[in-house]
């Protein structure tokens, strides 16, 4: 009786309610790339160029006469036609056709043809960049279609887990491929630098698996998850390990294959690329000064939004050219104007966008100990991502334990920015270090090394440079740098009331130049150091035997300055 009740009542109910839920779950697995596409495209709509060309886009494709009810609709195309067309596309691997691929093709062509039109318009700007970089790193050109499903060609796209940019890099992966992410810049949004990183990453994944389909799956979920699926299934092709992959990744390769089809056969489905006024001819220029987008906009008479749209990697609309090698992308017809007027741009309303040097706050980074209580299902990776530290470091801080234990406290060291008050000497103000005094004497006090020596550079009205070396508390020796003779007490230093004793005249009135040691600080470059000491960059490179045209210097490295 009991078995009869189960067979006749329970099983039918399970079939009636549970199977539809399972089918719905499978649909959600296939729809994940689609949901990701929708979110990124919605963000793209707010960009400057889409807003500028909204009327043009609406005329390009009308939803009232879209592909759902005409012969060119994807739902009216036979499977054999799709399969033949995919086989005809040049590809480094077989573009497999099945029901999952067909569902995504129908989504692109029948449901969002107007959006596909916009992507085709944007592809004329982005695809030549991708192709040139992929060719350089021996990566198949057709992998450029990944950006369609990754970011919908939106450089400002950010996923729900923090993946950012055209190629949707996570923080840790971006750092592995030398992408800068700091308070000033996020290279994941830079079309050129992020594409170079994507080419390197895809090439490395192919070296691991020897199969481009598996490399694509690993690009989405990581090589570790793909290796797990291979071990559990005992197979080594994407479609054989399909059921063992994370749910987000199962729809990833089918969505990529569908994107390949749509971006090549759009004309067969009555879709035309939207005409966008985005300046396809652009060029990049090295910025040598601190510049704000508003300054460029005002001096060159360009829309602020246009500059920001071409340079999405910069945070706060500032380019700190004195701190690192930063480039700006501009329409090619405005590049020469920028080069000629860079000094004028940097000085235009400078106080409004950048604080004077003496007002700038100094910061140091200190390691702060944090105790984190492990929650259910947390791993070293999830904890490290939360606190923006590496898995290797967090394991080392906690005795290289294999797994975190629920309820236990783990130790984390995080760098936090701490403001440091600038040191100002007694009886002096910030203006005394940066402005010309009434008697036209400029005094700068820079620490050379850890000793008690101090250099004073004095420029009086006769433009005679005097270098003063403090040898004791009460005595100062002066060496004259040019042939101009100096009378005793010709100029007075306002920093103190001590008298300057001039040495007697000798045959060699000009002393040899003095060499000092400079310790490289965070954010400094050879250009900024040369600007600080008023010397030539080439002289610093030659004096320190640095190799290359743009040698790399490290924090803490000691450089000789003559």
Show which residues are catalytic: 150
In order of 1, 152, 514, the CA distances from 556 in angstroms are 83, 43, 22
SS3 of the chain: helix, strand, coil, percent, to 5? 45, 15, 40
Task: Give dist(CA 207, CA 297) in Å, integer.
Answer: 46
Beta bridge partner(s), residue 364: 418
Task: Give dist(CA 422, CA 115) in Å, integer.
Answer: 54
Long-range contacts of 359-364 (CB under 8 A, 24+ apart): 359/430, 361/419, 361/420, 361/422, 362/419, 362/420, 362/421, 362/422, 363/417, 363/418, 363/419, 363/420, 364/417, 364/418, 364/420
Contact 61, 113 (CB under 8 A): yes
Which has the closest alpha carbon to 456: 477, 486, 438?
Answer: 477
In order of 200, 478, 480, the CA distances from 487 in angstroms are 66, 12, 11
Report the side by side order of strands in the sheet with 476-480.
445-447, 454-459, 465-470, 476-480
Token digits of residue 392: 């290797």
Contact 218, 202 (CB under 8 A): no
Task: Give dist(CA 476, CA 502) in Å, integer.
Answer: 9
Helix, strand or coil for residue 451?
A: coil
Token digits of residue 306: 């246009």
Q: What residues contact 366, with CB distance under 8 A and at least 6 apart?
A: 415, 416, 418
Q: Residue for token digits 């793909």?
A: 226
CB atoms within 10 A of CB 402: 6
């Amino acid at each position: 009786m009991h078995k009869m009740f189960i067979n006749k009542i329970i099983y039918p109910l399970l079939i009636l309610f549970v199977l539809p839920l399972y089918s719905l779950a499978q649909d959600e697995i296939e729809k994940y790339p689609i949901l990701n596409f929708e979110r990124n495209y919605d963000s793209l709509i707010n960009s400057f160029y889409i807003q500028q060309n909204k009327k043009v886009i609406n005329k390009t494709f009308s939803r009232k006469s879209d592909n759902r009810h005409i012969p060119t609709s994807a739902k009216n195309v036979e499977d054999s036609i799709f399969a033949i067309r995919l086989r005809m596309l040049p590809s480094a691997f077989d573009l497999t056709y099945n029901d999952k691929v067909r569902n995504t093709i129908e989504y692109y062509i029948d449901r969002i043809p107007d959006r596909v039109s916009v992507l085709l318009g944007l592809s004329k700007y982005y695809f030549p960049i991708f192709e040139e970089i992929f060719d350089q790193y021996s990566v198949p050109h057709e992998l450029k279609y990944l950006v369609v499903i990754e970011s919908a060609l939106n450089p400002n796209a950010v996923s729900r887990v923090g993946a950012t940019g055209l190629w949707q890099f996570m923080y840790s992966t971006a750092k592995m491929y030398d992408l800068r992410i700091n308070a000033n810049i996020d290279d994941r949004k830079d079309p050129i630098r992020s594409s170079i990183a994507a080419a390197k990453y895809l090439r490395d994944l192919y070296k691991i698996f020897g199969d481009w389909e598996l490399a694509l799956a690993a690009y989405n979920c990581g090589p570790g998850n793909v290796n797990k699926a291979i071990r559990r299934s005992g197979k080594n092709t994407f479609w054989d390990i399909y059921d063992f992959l994370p749910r987000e990744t199962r729809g990833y390769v089918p969505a990529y294959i569908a994107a390949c089809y749509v971006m090549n056969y759009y004309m067969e489905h009555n879709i035309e690329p939207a005409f966008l006024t985005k300046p396809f001819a652009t060029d990049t220029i090295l910025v040598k000064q601190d510049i704000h987008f508003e300054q460029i906009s005002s001096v060159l008479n360009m829309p602020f939004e246009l500059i920001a749209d071409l340079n999405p990697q910069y945070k706060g609309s500032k380019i700190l050219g004195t701190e690192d090698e930063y480039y700006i992308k501009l329409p090619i017809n405005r590049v020469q104007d920028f080069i000629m007027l860079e000094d004028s741009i940097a000085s235009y309303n400078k106080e409004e966008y950048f604080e004077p040097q003496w007002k700038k706050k100094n910061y140091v980074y200190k390691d702060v100990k944090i105790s984190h209580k492990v929650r259910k299902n947390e791993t070293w990776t999830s904890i490290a991502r939360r606190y923006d530290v590496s898995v290797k470091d967090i394991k080392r801080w906690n005795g290289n334990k294999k797994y975190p234990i629920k309820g236990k406290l783990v130790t984390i060291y995080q760098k936090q920015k701490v403001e440091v008050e600038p040191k100002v000497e007694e009886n002096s103000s910030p203006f005394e270090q940066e402005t010309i005094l009434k008697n036209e004497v400029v005094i700068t006090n820079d620490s050379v090394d850890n000793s008690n020596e101090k250099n004073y550079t004095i420029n009086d009205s006769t433009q005679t440079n005097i270098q003063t070396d403090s040898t004791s508390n009460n005595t100062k020796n002066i060496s004259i740098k040019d042939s101009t003779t100096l009378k005793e007490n010709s100029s007075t230093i306002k920093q103190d009331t001590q008298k300057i004793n001039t040495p007697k005249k000798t045959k060699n009135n000009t002393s040899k130049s003095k060499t000092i040691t400079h310790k490289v600080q965070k954010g400094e470059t050879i250009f900024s150091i040369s600007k600080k000491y008023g010397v030539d960059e080439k002289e610093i490179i030659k004096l320190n035997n640095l190799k290359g045209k743009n040698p790399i210097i490290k924090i803490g490295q000691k450089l000789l300055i003559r």
